[in-house]
Amino acid sequence: MIQEAGRKVIVIGHRNPDTDSICSAIAYARLKQALTGEEHIPCRAGMINPETQYVLEKFNIPVPELREDVRTQIKDIEIRKTKGVRSNISLKKAWSLMKDLGVVTLPITRDNHLEGLITIGDIANSYMNVYDSAILSAACTQYVNIKETLEGIVVVGDEQDYFDKGKVLVAAANPDLMESYIEEHDLVILGNRYESQFCAIEMNAGCIVVCDGAPVSMTIRKLAEERQCTVISTPFDTFTASRLINQSMPIGYFMKTNHIISFDIEDYTDDIKDIMASKRHRDFPILDKDGHYKGMISRRNLLGMKRKQVILVDHNERSQAVEGIEGADILEIIDHHRLGSLETISPVFFRNQPLGCTATIIYQMYKEAGAEICPEVAGLLCSAIVSDTLLYRSPTCTEIDRQAAEILAGIAGVDTKKLAREMFAAGSDLRQKSEKEIFYQDYKVFNMEGTTVGIAQISSMDEEELQNLKERMVPFLEKMKNKHNVDMLFFMLTSILDESTEVLCDSFNGEQLLEQAFPGCRPQNQAVILPGVVSRKKQFVPAMMLVLQG
């Protein structure tokens, strides 16, 4: 899969991330960005644990952005950036804008906040509906709108004033008859007859529209100024002017303000598809979290939408991946675990090595690319290897891991033994944590021959702390099995110093399976002790799979 230019790529580890997952994502994102010049964003799929927090603070690295779902969002697709218009522009101007932009809906905004919407259908209805002659003033129409609609000029008066009183009429009769129907504040459309113009102003009309581009005499201008009557000259004849003048009304009078369906820029496209399909609207406004208008979206925008581009590190199991991974474009997978259940749309770059830590693979990729490893990145990679291999005690650890960690420690200026003590001490301080927080600190789900198995693990250098934790977790574990809808649930209490694990299980045949998987194990006080077992990946999971296969 080829990265598309200009798009951001998410580099992310598994849910309930450990130190390797977080540090590898950060280091690999930096390497990819240096090699490609494209933006790669290190992310996390869950909350970081105290050990990882300690590592990030030690090497002065910010906590990666939290991404709990990588489904496509509105912000990932091309939306129509239709500019918002003011509510006081005329119907005619709105119609012209729609034609020029090729849209059927205009957003009406104020200070970048959505006030309403107007569609071509709304404008068409305004033309077809029969309004009384006072509609222009009821809509509080600005004289500048009338001037623009009639393509005229304001001869007398302020074009920013409003026609907000009176009715509209055409003066086709002689002045004697005009006196009987012109009322104060009316807008009168008339021709070039001096007597008619004089009569309308004398009757206190609010505005006169002089048609056919006829000149307005100085006498009429002075009288209009004295009586505060606006005078507009238009090149159109009286019929055309009377037909067009209603198009000068502001769109705010006709816009829709109630029951507007809008979406947030952060909304997932999967969540809005059904809503869009169930409504007859062509376009829907998009807002940000502060309510600012961002653009318009239609069903057509969803047809060519692009998925988020993602690189996965330290896992390749669907059950461990971030939510929505099936809707993302996976570009690469860098891992050191067994092959899992992830499927991709297209071929991807997949690097999987039987090493003790993903960070060791990332270190190799830096060396292969000839890329410099700065001290802080070296510190992250070294910490990840120390964590995943339990300072080389885990059976997953190889000589390659050990050598990489020591070289990286030299670049970072740290001692691996001292670093391990500080990291494990920070990670095993569980006194202030709830049972739920402890359980989810490192919890993964595995599918073993059709059996769903949930396994949580805590490692500590403090034996007393592990025993106190056991007493707390036994009753808690009983509540968790049904909640997770798994067939089996295990909690591994791993002693780093003793290099052994005490396993709590919540299934009717859990102990029996453990005895088959680990001959010589010792059931003891609601748990099963596994001497020499410290690795979930290399020891516990493979042994359980062999039993379930049999």
In DSSP notation, 283-308 reads -EEEE-TT-BEEEEE-HHHHHT--PP
Torsion of CA 274, 276, 277, 279, to 10 degrees: 120
Asked if 125 and 216 sit in the same domain, the reply is: yes
CB hemisphere CA count around 337 (13 angstroms): 26
Q: What is the pLDDT of residue 425?
A: 83
Q: Are strands 40-44 and 65-66 parallel, antiparallel or unpaired?
A: parallel
Name the residue among 360, 368, 362 with its Cα closest to residue 403.
360
442 DSSP assignment:
T
CA–CA separation, 360 and 385 (whole Å): 7
Cβ within 8 Å of residue 137, ≥6 positions away: 163, 164, 165, 166, 167, 185, 187
Q: What is the pLDDT of residue 71?
A: 92
Contact (Cβ atoms closer than 8 angstroms) between residue 21 and residue 315 = yes
For 443-493, the DSSP string reads EEEEEETTEEEEEEEEEES-HHHHHHHHHHHHHHHHHHHHHHT-SEEEEEE
Tokens (6 digits) for 308: 């988020």
- Residue type present at position 542: P
Asked if 67 and 97 sit in the same domain, the reply is: no
Asked if 112 and 248 sit in the same domain, the reply is: yes
Q: Where are the alpha helices (DSSP H) in 397-457?
A: 399-412, 416-427, 435-440
Where does 168-292 show beta strands of DSSP type E? Answer: 168-170, 187-190, 207-210, 230-233, 263-264, 284-287
Residues of the chain with pLDDT under 50: 1-3, 5
Q: What is the pLDDT of residue 482?
A: 64
Angle at 50 between CA 44 and CA 51, to 5 degrees: 90
Overall number of domains in the chain: 3
Kindly list the distances between the CA atom of residue 70 and the CA atoms of 61, 73, 267, 313, 350, in Å, as whole numbers in the listed order.
Answer: 23, 8, 12, 15, 20
Sort 178 into a burial class: Cβ within 10 Å, 0-12 / 13-18 / 19+: buried
Asked if 324 and 239 sit in the same domain, the reply is: no
Q: Greatest CA separation found in the chain?
A: 120
Name the residue among 234, 247, 279, 277 with its Cα closest to residue 261.
279
Q: What is the pLDDT of residue 167?
A: 92
CA–CA separation, 541 and 533 (whole Å): 11
Question: Is residue 70 within a helix (H) or strand (E), and if so which, with residue range?
Answer: none
Helix axes 218-226, 194-202, angle to 10 degrees: 10
Q: What is the pLDDT of residue 5?
A: 46
Tokens (6 digits) for 212: 């056919």
Q: Match 């239609």 to its residue by tokens.
A: 298
CATH of the domain at 542: 3.10.310.20
Tokens (6 digits) for 544: 């359980």
Q: Are strands 9-12 and 309-313 parallel, antiparallel or unpaired?
A: parallel
Asked if 485 and 366 sit in the same domain, the reply is: no
Q: Which residue, 427, 462, 494, sits at the end of a domain?
A: 427
Kindly list the distances between the CA atom of residue 318 and the CA atoms of 111, 177, 313, 321, 323, in Å, as whole numbers in the listed order.
Answer: 45, 86, 13, 5, 9
Query: How many CB atoms neighbour CB 305 within 10 A?
Result: 13
CA–CA separation, 37 and 45 (whole Å): 25
CA–CA separation, 336 and 221 (whole Å): 89
Q: Which residue, 364, 396, 427, sits at the end of a domain?
A: 427
Asked if 179 and 318 sit in the same domain, the reply is: no
Name the residue among 74, 538, 535 with its Cα closest to residue 294.
74
Asked if 58 and 163 sit in the same domain, the reply is: no
Domain-located, residue 525: yes
Angle at 432 between CA 431 and CA 433, to 5 degrees: 95
Cβ within 8 Å of residue 288, ≥6 positions away: 264, 265, 266, 294
Asked if 247 and 317 sit in the same domain, the reply is: no
Domain-located, residue 273: no
Asked if 423 and 446 sit in the same domain, the reply is: no
Domain-located, residue 277: no
Question: Is residue 505 within a helix (H) or strand (E), and if so which, with residue range?
Answer: strand 500-505
User: By three-state DSSP, how is residue 229 classified?
Assistant: coil
Asked if 329 and 243 sit in the same domain, the reply is: no
CA–CA separation, 34 and 180 (whole Å): 84
Question: Is the pTM here over 0.75, yes or no?
Answer: no
CA–CA separation, 537 and 543 (whole Å): 10
Q: What is the pLDDT of residue 4?
A: 52
Question: Is residue 499 within a helix (H) or strand (E), and if so which, with residue range?
Answer: none
Asked if 390 and 444 sit in the same domain, the reply is: no
Domain-located, residue 80: no
Which residues form the domain of 374?
A: 9-72+307-427
CATH of the domain at 221: 3.40.1390.20
Name the residue among 126, 389, 161 with its Cα closest to residue 253.
126
Asked if 212 and 329 sit in the same domain, the reply is: no
CATH of the domain at 313: 3.90.1640.10
